[in-house]
Amino acid sequence: MKIAVLMHFDAPSREKLEKALPGCEIVYAFDRSLSYLDREEFDREKYAKELLDADAAVGNPPPDLLPSMKKLGLLQLFSAGTEPYSLPGVLPEGAKLANTSGAFGKAISEHMLAAMLTLSKKLHLYRDDMREGLWLDRGSVTSPEGMTVLSVGMGDIGSRFLKLTKLLGARTVGIRKHSLTAPDWVDEVHLAEDLDSLLPSADVVALSVPGNAETRGLFDERRLRLMKKGAILLNVGRGSAVDSLALCRVLSEGYLAGAALDVTDPEPLPPEHPLWKCENALITPHVSGFYHLRETYDNIVAIAIENLVRFRDGKPLLTPVDPATGYRETQVWPKA
Amino acid sequence: MKIAVLMHFDAPSREKLEKALPGCEIVYAFDRSLSYLDREEFDREKYAKELLDADAAVGNPPPDLLPSMKKLGLLQLFSAGTEPYSLPGVLPEGAKLANTSGAFGKAISEHMLAAMLTLSKKLHLYRDDMREGLWLDRGSVTSPEGMTVLSVGMGDIGSRFLKLTKLLGARTVGIRKHSLTAPDWVDEVHLAEDLDSLLPSADVVALSVPGNAETRGLFDERRLRLMKKGAILLNVGRGSAVDSLALCRVLSEGYLAGAALDVTDPEPLPPEHPLWKCENALITPHVSGFYHLRETYDNIVAIAIENLVRFRDGKPLLTPVDPATGYRETQVWPKA
């Protein structure tokens, strides 16, 4: 079995991989001297030939390389998000797809909590005032205690975020599509059909849904205006779930108190996009996950190695992706 | 008994006060139509005469008015901080002093958590980048899980802050001067003499000590450099506890990852002060307490009414202040 490693694997990770899969041919497309925080692409000229006969690949390669990988049986992504790989015709026929669902939950849910509290306590406005040397009282703030927090999406990220807010005294409400089961820190679970009726009572609405045809434009102007006046919106799933220009309007009017966006539409957000100038938007450049907590990187390496072993042994994968939904097969958000 | 109310009392608060103290003469120096969030002073020309024979006053009046209040038996502040009223000779002889210790704990501890997470997740830098329309990865972040958080000061504010960080997975260490007792969410309690030996192992150091001769300059350059490289400093007590210019140097070198200051020295911080330009300082203009959570205001009104009733009845006050230390008499930070 030949494995192409198309993401940074540092020395300890290589050792674990080689120990778990003895006898496999392993090609590393990144120099081990690079930091795992580097975002650069691998040298495709140098490695394209090596990929032709790989049985498995780890990483998120340029999609146009995939058709030439005729032997590919498994593409193990380093991301939780699965597009464009889950789109029809992108993967070679017969290849399985796995993501790293679960690896990012801690990092992203903490980022969400930080962003929610920043907006609640107006720290973004005080930061702006610092630039002007301005000692100015920005008025009342809100507390997580007693807030209603609605998580749209109840995977690892959404569930963990509700746990953090519950610890700080919030009332937690989750929306999921396939069942009404939830961890015990979730006060209420609803199906997606209840979304519109739940929006008016939520102080914080947090989106952690994947990008697909169904979630595109989920928060259009109508839904943004169904939210409670003064509420906060968080989006960490895919930028396409929120209509950026409608959000600008709703924020500029002061209808919503704030929106923290770690994902945008488009992405990267172009320098001239009006969202940048929205005082109550808090934009981060898709950084809440990645490997910004070392633990995330370690999780990803562990999931990748486990899936490679299972693939070699012909066993079910730990985090298989259903190409039809872009979700883990075990956590499906089915069509309404 | 005549009571001068020198802070905003809204209609419900007046009703409670008048019900608790029937038959008292009550003078309100603020118009009820003002918002409790207004910061303006009362009209001293109009009310100075009324104060001359007041038995009790609620609020933080200009200190130069106090010598004329010959009958004053109780000054009930609306603040937890007690200077300048606790300085020798400021209060008329025989007058007792009470603060509102306990009223601010929730608001201030939540602000501290928000500021700590903002710095940990680099949201202050991403906010700066927004101004430039800059989509830029700022690198690794830290998690509260597993962090060591050291609270210098274990009153209501410091204790509550440790509780919030404990809920998010931190190891909590408290420093108090008069005893080694602490709530069960505090992993370790030490006496002040251990401060220097504890600094090198703390990821976050949070100061909530009052302003007095003993705390002035507590965090000078030597102590700032005893902190762990990459640690975060929070100050919500009094600005004088930290040497502002030394902090600027230590932050600018990148020795500390960040400092969140809700109090500064001097205060207000003048527009030309170098702290404003410190990228990893997060300055808020002494707003973490005040009445920015409505609940704080309600707490203050409740404490004030309770102390007025106790004063009338000749009973011990709920929150008496020892003028020698500026602390609640029951929570003393004694001389070393």
| A123 to B133: CB separation less than 8 angstroms, yes or no | no
pTM for this model (two decimals) = 0.91
Round to whole Å and give the CA distance between A121 and B282. 13
For A18-42, how does the pLDDT look when each residue is reduced to its tens digit (9 = 90+)? Answer: 999 999 999 999 887 777 777 777 8
Q: What is the dihedral of CA A221, A226, A228, A232, to 10 degrees?
A: -40
CA neighbor of B157 nearest in space, from B110, B99, B109, B204: B109
Tell me which of B305 and A179 has the higher pLDDT. Answer: B305
- The Cβ of residue A5 has, within 10 Å, a number of other Cβ atoms equal to 23
Give me the mean pLDDT over the B47-54 stretch: 89
| B285 to A145: CB separation less than 8 angstroms, yes or no | no
Percentage of residues in chain B having pLDDT higher than 70: 96
Round to whole Å and give the CA distance between A159 and A186. 8
Round to whole Å and give the CA distance between B316 and B336. 27
Round to whole Å and give the CA distance between A3 and B146. 35
Given CA atoms B109, B113, B119, B125 in this order, what sign does their dihedral have?
negative
Decide if A40 touches B, using CB distance below 8 A.
Answer: no
Residue A333: what pLDDT?
33
Least CB–CB distance from A282: residue in B123, B141, B271:
B123
Look at domain A105-283 and name its CATH class: alpha beta
Question: Could you state, in order of their start, the residue ranges of all structural domains in chain B?
Answer: 2-103+291-328, 105-283
| B124 to A121: CB separation less than 8 angstroms, yes or no | no
Decide if A245 touches B, using CB distance below 8 A.
Answer: no
Round to whole Å and give the CA distance between B80 and B98. 9
Non-local (6+) Cβ contacts of A280 within 8 A are A119, A124, A251, A254, A256, A257, A258, A259
User: Across the strands, what pairs with A149?
Assistant: A172, A204
Decide if A166 touches B, using CB distance below 8 A.
Answer: no
Tell me which of B35 and A127 has the higher pLDDT. Answer: A127
Residues of B in contact with A131 (CB under 8 A): 128, 131, 276
Decide if A131 touches B, using CB distance below 8 A.
Answer: yes
Residue A183 pLDDT > 70:
yes
For B58-67, how does the pLDDT look when each residue is reduced to its tens digit (9 = 90+)? Answer: 999 999 999 9
User: Looking at the domain that runs over A2-103+291-328, which CATH code has it been given?
Assistant: 3.40.50.720
Decide if A85 touches B, using CB distance below 8 A.
Answer: no
Least CB–CB distance from B123: residue in A107, A114, A128:
A114
Percentage of residues in chain A having pLDDT higher than 90: 82
| Main-chain dihedrals φ then ψ at residue B281, nearest 5 degrees | -95, 145
Return mean pLDDT, chain B.
92
For B212-269, how does the pLDDT look when each residue is reduced to its tens digit (9 = 90+)? Answer: 888 999 999 999 999 999 999 999 999 999 999 999 999 999 999 999 999 999 999 9
User: What ipTM does the predicted assembly reach?
Assistant: 0.91
Residues of B in contact with A106 (CB under 8 A): 143, 145
Q: Quick one: closest CA in B to A292, which residue? A: B140
Non-local (6+) Cβ contacts of B285 within 8 A are A126, A129, A135, A136, A137, B262, B268, B269
| B37 to A117: CB separation less than 8 angstroms, yes or no | no
Class of residue A89 by CB neighbours under 10 A (exposed 0-12, middle 13-18, buried 19+): exposed
Decide if B280 touches A, using CB distance below 8 A.
Answer: no
Tell me, what amino acid is at B230? Answer: G
Least CB–CB distance from B117: residue in A113, A139, A167:
A113
CA distance A321 to chain B (A): 28
Q: What is the dihedral of CA B198, B200, B205, B210, to 10 degrees?
A: 50
| Main-chain dihedrals φ then ψ at residue A192, nearest 5 degrees | -60, -30
Non-local (6+) Cβ contacts of A125 within 8 A are A138, A279
Residue A327: what pLDDT?
63
Residues of B in contact with A295 (CB under 8 A): 143
Non-local (6+) Cβ contacts of A117 within 8 A are A123, A144, B110, B113, B114, B117, B118
Helices A105-120 and A294-313, axial angle in degrees (round to 10):
150
* Radius of gyration (C-alpha) of chain B in whole angstroms: 21
* Radius of gyration (C-alpha) of chain A in whole angstroms: 21
